[in-house]
Amino acid sequence: MSKRDEKIEQYVAEAKKLGLSLSEDLITKVTIGLGPSIYKKDSETVSCSDPAELDRVKKNFIQKKLGLSITDANMDAAIQKVCETLGTSNRNKYRALFYALLAKELGKESVYA
């Protein structure tokens, strides 16, 4: 089993543990799209308490990857909802799950079709 397959398996297990309604297919495609960032501890997770990181999520993921041009308030609301869904006390907010939930929340799973 490749390292990427191991990561995908880990994320699918975490999604099930948290009771997230994400398809294994979406998790797989988001993980592949993240490339090598999933192998570094710091870049593998998202910190909901770091405003600079959340700003990068807005610019690099919501605006560039998903191609959305929505208001900051709408982006902030979607990000906040995902942070709460993953659990505010959960220290392992995996970027793959975070992005998959964000794409689902914003109705843009089709980007990964």
The confidence score (pLDDT) of residue 15 equals 96
Say whether pLDDT at 113 is over 90: no
- DSSP bridge partners of 94: 45
Domain count, the chain: 1
Name the residue range of residue 84's domain.
Answer: 3-112
We report the CATH number of the domain holding residue 24 as 1.10.238.120
Q: Which helix (H) or strand (E) holds 78?
A: helix 72-86
- DSSP bridge partners of 21: none
Burial of 75 (0-12, 13-18, 19+ CB in 10 A): buried
Please give the distance of CA 64 from its chain centroid, rounded to a whole number.
Answer: 14
pLDDT in tens, 76-98: 999 999 999 999 889 889 999 99
pTM value > 0.85: yes
Span 97-111, mean pLDDT? 97
Say whether pLDDT at 71 is over 90: yes
Span 6-17, mean pLDDT? 97
